[in-house]
Structure 1
Amino acid sequence: MSKKLTGKAFDAKIFKRLMGFAKKYRLQFVIGTLSAILLSLVSVAKPILLQEIVNTYFETKDKEGILYFSLLMVVFLIAEVFLQFLFIYKVNWLGQNIIKDIRVKLQKHMLQFKMAYFDQSSVGKLVTRLVSDTETIAQFFGQGLFMIISDLLKMLVVAIVMLWMNWKLALIAFIVLPILIYATKLFQIAIKSAFQEVRIQVANLNGFVQERVTGMNIVQLFNREKIEYENFVKINEKHKKAHIKTVWYYSIFFPIAEILSSIAVGLLVWYGGLDIVDSGVTNAGQIIAFIMMSQMLFRPLRQIADKFNTLQMGMVAGDRVFEILDTQSQITKTGNVEATHFKGNISFKNVRFSYIKDEEVLKGISFNVKAGETIAIVGATGAGKSTIINLVNRFYEINDGEICIDNHNIEQYTLTSLRNQIAVVLQDVFLFSDTIYNNIVLSNENITLDEVKKAAKEIGIHEFIMSLPNNYNYNVKERGVMLSSGQRQLIAFLRAYVSKPSVLILDEATSSIDSYSEQLIQEATDKITQHQTSIIIAHRLTTVKKADRIIVMDKGKIVEQGSHLELLQKDGYYKNLYDMQFVNEAAV
């Protein structure tokens, strides 16, 4: 969102876009609007009836007339209560359904973003957009827009009735209106800027807390508790100041509005009383009715200022949500070929790629992988190994060159079918706060528990799962904290295996696990790579000895290719890497 504060009290463009989400709920919109109109008409009945009782039946002491009009007031009161209920329920129902639609649309849009977008975006701020900002949009409809419409209608009807009953008293009551309207306008402009700052600070606070809670082990490991506490205090202080600024504006405006309202009542009593003494057209019933109607006129105006702020907050939140909805960070070149199964022929043809402009990570690499072949990619950290995985899955788009699978450019395949045929086991395994079974199948209803158990037995991890409480229904909690890194890796390996991919990619899958888990994965790797194309990214060269071919990378380029024995005989980069690794291990 642009951080430039426009100062505009109302943004018609954002308002129009928000109202676009209400089109599918036309009936509810109409009911809410009609109830607001009827409510404004019914609300003025009480002062009119009260005037009639005082002027006619009090003077004549007509008990039957007093009873009749009193019962009539009760009827109008019941009608007002019913219309108020209908109005509040319908407008809030409308708001909740609209934000449901916005959240669904926003979530669907975000799911299609390239990884580059998430690399540069704060998780906490995205959560704020999806949860907090959309809730504010609900208040835009439920507490802002319709409430303002209702209050404006009520004020209009009251003003017309006041002019009809006694235009002189009405003008007396209207004297303070220009001052109050001007003060309301200033208040609205000032409070919008304050609320924009509040939303910015809320997003910053959410982002900070999200990152620190997620990385709490790093915070405590490096004794940063005091530093992070002090940083939090500073951010929280900014958040507090932003809110206090809104409180300051409220504390100025509402007393002013209350004073002006009281002045209007005082003027009505003064002028009306003098007119009665002078035997004018004014009577006691009118003065009582006008005091009631002046409150009905000024109170909504004060509330409109508050509700207009809710309207503005909704538009500020809408602006932030629409910024994400307007962000075009999707993979642009998507084909229409459905990949039902790959033979597994993969080719990179002079591929160039950079995460940051003008800083190439891959510098024109080319290689081929035959169907059913297992290749390994090795090299120092930052050589570009993991980038190859990201490009095969189309998490990022290449700058130049071509990547083909089965002689088709991967851009010709639909993203869903392409990724369905490729399974990846990453070094940093992410598990959801759910059962082991659900973390393996990822809500794929086509994979049964029996199939999962069978696959687990085939790769040798069934016993490990059965040793856990509740077995396959064991809840691993957030990010899988109830399991060791080796156990999480085994779950990820099983997750890839049961998906029955055409291409299997292992990215440093054994780099941070114990020897027992590594042995299990190594045995499973040997089993499932026999009949499909496999790519293994590894630092530990013991895991790549059996590969059909090893590709050695350095600084974004391929420097060597060949089998393990062939590369050792070349006395090149791979042999130096191999000797260095095993000399260090021997020394240990």
Structure 2
Amino acid sequence: MSQNRGMNKPMGARRGDPMGFGRPVEKPKDFKGTFKRLLGYLKPHRLNLIIVLILAIASTTFTIVTPKISSKALNKLQDAYMARKMLSELSKGQNEAVKQLNEKMGDVQEEVVDKIINNMQDGQKKAVEQIANNMADAQKKAVDEMYKGIAIQLHQGVISGQKAAVDNITLQMGKVQRNLVLSMQQQMSGMQQIPQGGQMPPMDPKMLEAMQKLMKLPMIDTITDRQRKIEVTLEFIDILQSMPQNQQIDAKTLLSTKEILSLPLLEDVKNPNEKINIIKKFLSLSKNMPSQGQGMSMQLDENTLNKALAKIPEIKNFNTNSSSKTNKMDKKTMDAAQKLLKLPLISEIKDPVEKKKTLIELLDIFQSMPNTSGAGTGNINASDFNTLKELLSLPDISSIQDKEEKKRTTIKLIDVYSKMPNMNSDGTASNDMMDSEQLKNVKELLELPMLNSIKDADEKAKVLNRMLDIFGKMPDMNTDNADSKNKFDTKSIKAVQEFLALPKLRTLTNADEKADVAKKILDLSKEMQNTMENAPKDAKENIKFTDEQINAVITAIRETNGEYDFKYIGRIALILIALYIISALFSLTMGLVMSGVSQKTVRDLRREVDEKLARLPLKYFDTHLHGDILSRITNDVDTIATTLQQSLTQMITSVITIIGYIIMMLTISPTLTLIVLATMPLYVISTMLIAKKSQKYFAMQQKELGELSGHVEEMYTGHKIVKAFGREKDAIEHFESINNRLREAGWRAQFISGIMFPLMNFIGNLGYVGISIVGGIWITKSRLGIGDIIAFIQYSRSFTMPIVQTANIANVIQSTIACAERVFQILDEEEEIPDSKDAVVIEEPMGEVKFENVSFRYKEDVPLIEDLNLEVKPGHTIAIVGPTGAGKTTLVNLLMRFYEINSGRITIDGVDIRDIKRSELRKMFGMVLQDTWLFNGTIKDNIAYGKEGATMEDIVKAAKAAHADHFIRTLPQGYDTVINEEATNISQGQKQLLTIARAILHDPKILILDEATSSVDTRTEVLIQKAMANLMKGRTSFVIAHRLSTIRDAELIIVMNKGRIIEMGNHKELLAKGGFYADLYNSQFANENVDEVV
């Protein structure tokens, strides 16, 4: 027993490092199969495992959701704070903004009025200039038309005058001709009445010739054809000119008349120049013949005539305007025309005052004309002429210094503009900026009192509202002024009106009303800012929020009314406390249930292993280290138990926690979750690299620790020898060498594994920095609340813990599966051949033993016992001697059926031992071995181990028979003395006596004794021999002898060598043979110091 004490404790106990690294993880050969088989032991506890799983999920879920729930409370506080802050700032901003708006709108009014005045004075200049330009064009056109009209009138007048002159001349000439012919006829008649022979008055020959011609001419008044009439008239004039005494018409008149008649008819002439020449000639001749100029109604000066005639080439059709009244000017029109033609051209006047004066005169001339269209002024009625004169009569606004006078003049100008809505369509001056409605609004705006001069608040509010109404009717009134600081449009004006109409925030109590007004203030402020550069900023500038935050805070105002909801916070706190308590209770319950499951599972596993060990043949124990077997039964099974109780629940909770953390992080922010997950490869890679590197040094540490432990154990057990030979220094040096290597390996292992924590912190901090940056940005944009970020940071900081735990547990599970595999190897070992179903029970065994042709070998190719035959009678003592490896112990093992023979058979009382149950067979045997085996207990219990239900009387009787009663009673507690773990509190001989007493109490029919006196003193040996003698009385005894002196009295001595019986007989017979036994005996007694075991 002492040799196996402590073997269930590994020499080098595992030492964990900071990350849970230790000795190299032992990996199973068949992980899947072993794991599945191990799960089979959990099947009976399925219900409990389901409960554990549910409790784990519930407990972990409660733990996971608590940061999320607490984040709601924080978000609620944040919302209330932000809402409270916004309402406070907006209230201040609203008051300040209203004040600013009143001041600002006064400035705006002044700016707008100045702008209107400037615009109107510019408009006035433009209008005057436009009128001047238009009237200059009209003047030119009118003058041009006037000259053309005169030319046409001259043309028509000359045509009609020429016709009239021809008709008149032919008429007069016809009368003259008829009178002259009549006179000449009378004269001729008188001459015929002269008596014959009377003397006729003398006549000029030219006269006579002229008279002759005259008499031949046809009478002019009888000719109907005008041209013939003109020709005859011209001949008549020639006749008159040739008469020496022409008393009818003077020569100059005849000459002019002849020239008139000689002119071609104007209406038949196409060439303009010829027309001009004919008109000039006709007018010139007409002056000499007043009676012929009656058809010409115009009296023109030479300059006017020439300018008018110069227009003839421009006239395409002299008949087009033949019906126009232009060529039929009355005196009034002619007077106006004369004035118009005398006026200087406006386009040539430089002085503005002179130009305006001339313009007014021109308008008067146009107005005095019966038909102004003839003058080129369009369809302008008298009212329009008056309006234009009124506009021109106004002083220039730019020249007025007094501001009020400027306003009054501007209002007058607007009144003038309002009277001329359609002037621009006719080409004259008009206001091209505003229609009548705009003019009305501008006038009304100018008529308003100035805001800055009003002291009464109500009056100021009325004027401001009226001004804003007017602004609302004047959209984009400032868009043309790039320098304006107040860009108004309908939207911004409406925004200002709505802003001023809003109720005061500080007077509101309803949350929705507060939110609506706050939102309206912000929206209107933004609207005003977009259109008014100098719009009030306090309404929004005091709120340092983004648009996203504003929307979020408006919602918060509706929900919190700007008040802290401590009741809600209290409810959250109670919920969290309840969740923590429930989670703790679930965890406790889970631990209790899982503890029961693991312990029951391990109990069943231990029971199965124990039962299996009972069914294993001795061969298994002989071929396996006892420490290894004990390690599998104790350490490996304990590892399985620990894993089931702790690691399994940790694995479940860790996996659930990982999944839960990921889900919760995703619910907060998928993007931030990706940042966290992006660090996972760094964790995995760094863990794998560090684990791989440190495992090598941990393996080295375990090796050195094992060597150090072995060295210490050697020095401890053999310290007497070390001291006896004086080798303390060598032992210390060897210890130091191993210890230094252990220190180096341990330092490296701990250093490398110690890197993990700072590295994990570094990687975690990288993720934390990313979360902080992105989260901070999103907080400013109200995409996340502060509570959400805090909860997310909690999740991210805790996320690595279950991952590391899972990695460590994975290693533990691998080791556990390896341990389970080692345990299952025991369970899978080949068991002893089962007892026969028809097993025989020997009720009263006699102790006869026979070996019939028995053969046995441990290995197939190495024979040990071959064809052994032996017969032992009941009650005989058989001594077995021989060298080491001869088969002495094997013979006993075969007898007790610890091994199955390969051939032959062994019988007890004629019954084959294979037909007897092993338990019944082994009850017939009692054993006293050289290596005593006592367990940790009282002496009484150790003796009673040989017989179930033994009484104290039986125990004492057996002790007395074994000669042990005396020394037992000398002990302080007697039979109740506790033998310690190593049984060092009694001597070796006393141990031997106790085992003999145990065998005597057992009362077997067959004894197996293994040299029980080999290591005791002479006195104790005598006591042991006496006890042995009492024990062997009436029993078949097999004695394995090392000291031949102890077997002299044996009925039969068997000498074995190489598995065979080479000699057999009693002591004397064997000595007499002088064989192997005799040699052993003689050599043993010849040299008492020989220690060789034979």
The answer for the alignment partner of 1:426 in structure 2 is 929
The answer for the alignment partner of 1:320 in structure 2 is 822
Please give the alpha-carbon distance, in whole angstroms, between the structure 1 residues aligned to 2:759 and 2:917.
62
Amino acid at match of 1:82: L
Please give the alpha-carbon distance, in whole angstroms, between the structure 2 residues aligned to 1:317 and 1:521.
45
Residues 50-82 of structure 1: CA deviation (Å, up to 9, x unaligned): 332233344232232222323322222322332
Answer yes or no: is 1:64 the counterpart of 2:84.
no
Question: Where does structure 1 lack aligned partners over 5 or more consecutive residues?
Answer: none
Answer yes or no: is 1:34 the counterpart of 2:54.
yes
What percent identity do the matched residue pairs reach?
34
Question: Where does structure 2 lack aligned partners over 5 or more consecutive residues?
Answer: 1-22, 81-561
Amino acid at match of 2:894: L
Please give the alpha-carbon distance, in whole angstroms, between the structure 1 residues aligned to 2:652 and 2:977.
53
The answer for the alignment partner of 2:788 in structure 1 is 286
Answer yes or no: is 1:408 the counterpart of 2:917.
no
Please give the alpha-carbon distance, in whole angstroms, between the structure 1 residues aligned to 2:1052 and 2:763.
86
Larger Rg: 2
Q: Cα gap change, 1:521/1:53 in structure 2, threshold over 3 Å: closer, same or farther?
A: closer
Q: Specify the SS of the correspondent of 1:44.
A: helix
Residues 465-498 of structure 1: CA deviation (Å, up to 9, x unaligned): 3333322223343443333333322222222111
Residues 378-411 of structure 1: CA deviation (Å, up to 9, x unaligned): 3445433333222212333444433222233323
Q: CA deviation at 1:375?
A: 2.4
Residues 24-63 of structure 1: CA deviation (Å, up to 9, x unaligned): 3334322321111112321233233233223334423223
Please give the alpha-carbon distance, in whole angstroms, between the structure 2 residues aligned to 1:222 and 1:518.
31
Answer yes or no: is 1:550 the counterpart of 2:1053.
yes
Return 434-443 or 197-206, whichever deviates more: 197-206
Q: Cα gap change, 1:193/1:134 in structure 2, threshold over 3 Å: closer, same or farther?
A: farther
Amino acid at match of 1:510: T
Answer yes or no: is 1:77 the counterpart of 2:580.
yes
Return 233-242 or 94-103, whichever deviates more: 233-242
Return 494-503 or 441-450, whichever deviates more: 441-450
Please give the alpha-carbon distance, in whole angstroms, between the structure 2 residues aligned to 1:287 and 1:154.
19
Which of the residues 777, 780, 789 maps onto 1:274? 777
CA contact (8 A) 2:963 2:993 kept: no
CA contact (8 A) 1:351 1:365 kept: yes
Answer yes or no: is 1:22 the counterpart of 2:42.
yes
Q: How many residue pairs are counted as aligned between the two chains?
A: 583
The answer for the alignment partner of 1:564 in structure 2 is 1067
Answer yes or no: is 1:260 the counterpart of 2:280.
no
CA contact (8 A) 1:460 1:520 kept: yes
Residues 424-470 of structure 1: CA deviation (Å, up to 9, x unaligned): 21223232333222222227432222112123334544334333332
The answer for the alignment partner of 1:310 in structure 2 is 812
CA contact (8 A) 1:124 1:207 kept: no
Which of the residues 511, 514, 520 maps onto 2:1023? 520
Q: Cα gap change, 1:530/1:139 in structure 2, threshold over 3 Å: closer, same or farther?
A: closer
CA contact (8 A) 1:340 1:421 kept: no
Please give the alpha-carbon distance, in whole angstroms, between the structure 2 residues aligned to 1:23 and 1:346.
49
Alignment of 1:152-163 (within 5 A): 152-163=655-666
Amino acid at match of 2:33: K
Alignment of 1:486-525 (within 5 A): 486-525=989-1028
Which of the residues 810, 823, 832 maps onto 1:331? 832
Q: CA deviation at 1:227?
A: 6.9
Please give the alpha-carbon distance, in whole angstroms, between the structure 2 residues aligned to 1:105 and 1:240.
42
Q: Specify the SS of the correspondent of 1:367.
A: strand
Q: Specify the SS of the correspondent of 1:423.
A: strand
Please give the alpha-carbon distance, in whole angstroms, between the structure 1 residues aligned to 2:829 and 2:705.
21
Q: CA deviation at 1:368?
A: 0.7
Q: CA deviation at 1:423?
A: 0.8
Please give the alpha-carbon distance, in whole angstroms, between the structure 2 residues aligned to 1:178 and 1:154.
19
CA contact (8 A) 1:9 1:188 kept: no
The answer for the alignment partner of 1:450 in structure 2 is 953
Please give the alpha-carbon distance, in whole angstroms, between the structure 2 residues aligned to 1:401 and 1:79.
72
Return 34-43 or 198-207, whichever deviates more: 198-207
Please give the alpha-carbon distance, in whole angstroms, between the structure 2 residues aligned to 1:9 and 1:367.
48
Q: Specify the SS of the correspondent of 2:936.
A: coil
The answer for the alignment partner of 2:869 in structure 1 is 366
Residues 81-124 of structure 1: CA deviation (Å, up to 9, x unaligned): 32333334443454444444444443443454444444444444
Please give the alpha-carbon distance, in whole angstroms, between the structure 2 residues aligned to 1:377 and 1:319.
42
Q: Cα gap change, 1:21/1:247 in structure 2, threshold over 3 Å: closer, same or farther?
A: farther
Please give the alpha-carbon distance, in whole angstroms, between the structure 1 residues aligned to 2:956 and 2:775.
89
Q: Cα gap change, 1:522/1:46 in structure 2, threshold over 3 Å: closer, same or farther?
A: closer
Q: Cα gap change, 1:539/1:286 in structure 2, threshold over 3 Å: closer, same or farther?
A: closer
CA contact (8 A) 1:347 1:369 kept: yes
Please give the alpha-carbon distance, in whole angstroms, between the structure 1 residues aligned to 2:26 and 2:1071.
66
Amino acid at match of 1:295: R
Amino acid at match of 1:331: E
Answer yes or no: is 1:300 the counterpart of 2:802.
yes
Q: Cα gap change, 1:477/1:63 in structure 2, threshold over 3 Å: closer, same or farther?
A: closer
Normalized per residue, the structure richer in strand is 1
Q: Cα gap change, 1:209/1:49 in structure 2, threshold over 3 Å: closer, same or farther?
A: same
Please give the alpha-carbon distance, in whole angstroms, between the structure 2 residues aligned to 1:221 and 1:393.
44
Residues 277-296 of structure 1: CA deviation (Å, up to 9, x unaligned): 3x353333322232223234
Please give the alpha-carbon distance, in whole angstroms, between the structure 1 residues aligned to 2:598 and 2:876.
56
Amino acid at match of 1:307: I
Please give the alpha-carbon distance, in whole angstroms, between the structure 1 residues aligned to 2:634 and 2:785.
56
Q: Specify the SS of the correspondent of 1:416.
A: helix
Amino acid at match of 2:661: V
CA contact (8 A) 1:124 1:206 kept: no
Q: Cα gap change, 1:300/1:229 in structure 2, threshold over 3 Å: closer, same or farther?
A: same
Residues 524-579 of structure 1: CA deviation (Å, up to 9, x unaligned): 44444342322223244443333322223334322222233433444444444444
Return 6-15 or 300-309, whichever deviates more: 6-15
CA contact (8 A) 1:39 1:84 kept: yes
Amino acid at match of 1:533: T
Which of the residues 898, 903, 906 maps onto 1:395? 898
Amino acid at match of 1:365: L
Q: Cα gap change, 1:360/1:393 in structure 2, threshold over 3 Å: closer, same or farther?
A: same
Which of the residues 961, 978, 987 maps onto 1:475? 978
Return 251-260 or 447-456, whichever deviates more: 251-260
Q: Cα gap change, 1:415/1:430 in structure 2, threshold over 3 Å: closer, same or farther?
A: same
The answer for the alignment partner of 2:72 in structure 1 is 52
Amino acid at match of 1:421: M
Q: Cα gap change, 1:220/1:22 in structure 2, threshold over 3 Å: closer, same or farther?
A: farther
Q: Cα gap change, 1:573/1:40 in structure 2, threshold over 3 Å: closer, same or farther?
A: closer
Please give the alpha-carbon distance, in whole angstroms, between the structure 2 residues aligned to 1:97 and 1:559.
56
Q: CA deviation at 1:421?
A: 1.0
Alignment of 1:208-223 (within 5 A): none
Please give the alpha-carbon distance, in whole angstroms, between the structure 2 residues aligned to 1:46 and 1:576.
90
Q: CA deviation at 1:187?
A: 6.5
Q: Specify the SS of the correspondent of 2:937.
A: coil
Q: Cα gap change, 1:357/1:198 in structure 2, threshold over 3 Å: closer, same or farther?
A: farther
Answer yes or no: is 1:533 the counterpart of 2:553.
no
Q: Cα gap change, 1:483/1:4 in structure 2, threshold over 3 Å: closer, same or farther?
A: closer
